[in-house]
Structures are given as structure tokens and as C-alpha cells.
Amino acid sequence: MDLHTHTCYSDGDLDPEELVKLAKSKGIKILSITDHDTVDGLHEARRECEKQNITLIPGIEFTTETEYSGMEVHILGYNFDPQNSGLLKMTDHAKQNAREYCRKVCSALESYGMEIDYSVLENTKGIITKHDISLSVINKNMSSYDFHNMWLTESSPLDIIMEKFPAKKVIKTIHKAGGKAICAHILRTLEQCNKLSLLPFMSESLIISGLDGFEVFYANSSKEQVRTMYELCSAQGLIMTGGSDFHGIKRTGRCQLGEYNSYTEIAFSDISGILYNGHSSHDYDMQKATA
């Protein structure tokens, strides 16, 4: 069961219909597509899921920042109304933020001698992502993955930061749309910033803001990381989720759909059983997910 599947249509790798067919070939019966800051692919995905007899849980992943430290955190929305006006207003705002960020970054990259193929950006599906910007650079002489890490992180020479939504506002918007708000891969986020000691403060800040749960199992999770997040959620009575963090077949550094870098299939089966069966009182309403 793959409850949390990140995809990125704008990388041109898989459209929603192809993604669902791939999920079917992997034996996935429950699928959530959580694109960054957009729900544009959900209607097509739902139509194909009905054909393939797969339960689709509407999903999204918002890029946010916390009130506690201003750190970037990714908030997943699950099982909401994709037509909710407040949520759609936020995704429209996100697209504007992405376009403005793209304009500034491309201008800065050109000042460093980079050549940009703007047709790549003009033909993206959904929201423009950093991956699209990486693909658009013609003379980068490195993989898009390495280029992203060198030029498009908050520590890059460009020093350009995309406007982000406050986590509290995103959580409230997801709730108003009838969904649940989950913090994705918080240990990875903190580890990348060398700030793992902030987990108690970050998690408390998010829970106070109304967060419903955490992604306990992440594609690259160690057993210790799973245990840490499991114990945190257990102590607070929070929803637990897990997933592969799939971003497309050709994406370097990512898991394939329904696969996990850290565990064998048997090991993940044991963990997913704990997560799913251990908190049945917090499970999503699957009937709503297919309505």
C-alpha cells in the first residue's frame, strides 16, 4: 500500500494517467498524489483510478515556513475537496510565486553565464519547479540533481528565496477544505539544515498550529528515524503516514513508485502494518476519498 506518493508532472516524466497505470502495474490499491502546490492533475488521475480500480486520496504538498524559526517545511494535505475555493486561491498564489521566483533565478543564472532554454519553462505542466529550472539550463555540465543542489538551495550563491506560505495558514486552509494536514519528512528537513535538535520545538509549533500528523516512514528513513517519529505521534495521538516520495522514473536521488531505499519489501510491510493498523481511529475515510 502506497499512501503517500509524490509526483512532479512538470518534469515531463509521467502524466497523471501514466502514473496511475504505473501504480496499477505495481499492485498499488490506494494512491495519493501530492504534487507541490497544485491539484491540476487530480481530475485526470481520479478518472484513470476509477478505470483501474484504485482508490485515490486527493493530495497536495505545500511549501511553507514555520513561525518558530522561519524554516521551510512541507505540509501535505490529504482527503480534501479539490474544488475548495480557498485551497484553489492558495494554489493560484503559489503559481504566481513560482513564476516570480523563476524569473529572478533565471536572470541571476544568466549573469553567471548560464544559457536558459525558456521553451522548457513555457511548456511545463502545472507549477514551475526548481527541477524545471535545472532542466532549462543548457550549459550546466552536470546533472540536474547536482545543479539543483549547487544553485537552487537556500545556501546557493544566488541568495534568492521563494515566497512561502506560513505553515499555520496552510494547515487552516487544508482543514477548511475538509482535509488532514501532515508534515512531510521533517527529520530529513532538519538533518539537511544540521538542526535535528530543533525537532521538539518544531513539532510542538506545528501541533499547536493544528497539524494532524507526521510522515513517520519516509523513503530514505532509517529504523531509528521511523522509531523517533512513531513515538512522537504515539505520544500525541497523531496521524501517521508513509510513502516512497516518488518524483518520476528518471529523477536522480529518488525512489521509484512503491519502492523504498532503506528497507526490503518485507521490512516495509512490517512497518506499514504497524502504522496502518496501530492507528485505525485516525485513518482516512476511504469512501470520501473515492466520492
pLDDT digits (tens, 9 = 90+) for 226-260: 889 989 999 999 998 877 777 666 655 566 676 66
DSSP secondary structure letters along the chain? -EEEE---GGGTS--HHHHHHHHHHTT--EEEE--BT--TTHHHHHHHHHHHT-EEEEEEEEEEE-TTT--EEEEEEES--TT-HHHHHHHHHHHHHHHHHHHHHHHHHHHTT--B-HHHHHT-SSS--HHHHHHHBTT--S-HHHHHHHHSSTTSTT------EEHHHHHHHHHHTT-EEEE--HHHHHHHTT-GGGHHHHHHHHHHTT--EEEEE-TT--HHHHHHHHHHHHHHT-EEEE------TT-TT-PPTT--SSS-HHHHHHHHHHHHHHTGGG---HHHHT-
Task: Give the predicted TM-score (pTM) of the model.
Answer: 0.80
**pLDDT band for position 177 (50/70/90)?**
very high
The share of the chain scoring above pLDDT 90, in percent, equals 41
Q: Say yes or no to pLDDT of 56 above 70.
A: yes
Q: Say yes or no to pLDDT of 12 above 50.
A: no
Q: Say yes or no to pLDDT of 11 above 80.
A: no
